[in-house]
Amino acid sequence: MEELLTVQQVANRLQLKPSWVYAHTDDLGAIHVGKYLRFRWDRVLERLEQSQKLGAQANDPSPSAPTVPIQMLRNQ
């Protein structure tokens, strides 16, 4: 079973502030465990890839999506 990550751990891996992760919990596929938020890393990457593809198709990159190369993040 894959480890569930905290907001801080996701923020660290994405090199973003925790406030960004909180603001995008639904976009990143957050799992609510009581009052806590947890994330599956593979799902976070999948959601970010979808976001990048949608932005590329619209020829208008989403300003809310991080510009971190997904391939680099997969190795974490």
Q: Residues 31-55: pLDDT tens digits?
A: 999 999 999 999 999 999 998 887 7
Backbone angles phi, psi at 39, to 5 degrees: -135, 145
**Number of domains forming the structure of the chain:** 1
Work out the percent of the chain whose per-residue pLDDT is above 90: 62
Domain that holds residue 34: 4-74
Average pLDDT, the chain: 84
pLDDT at residue 22 in the model: 97
pLDDT at residue 67 in the model: 57
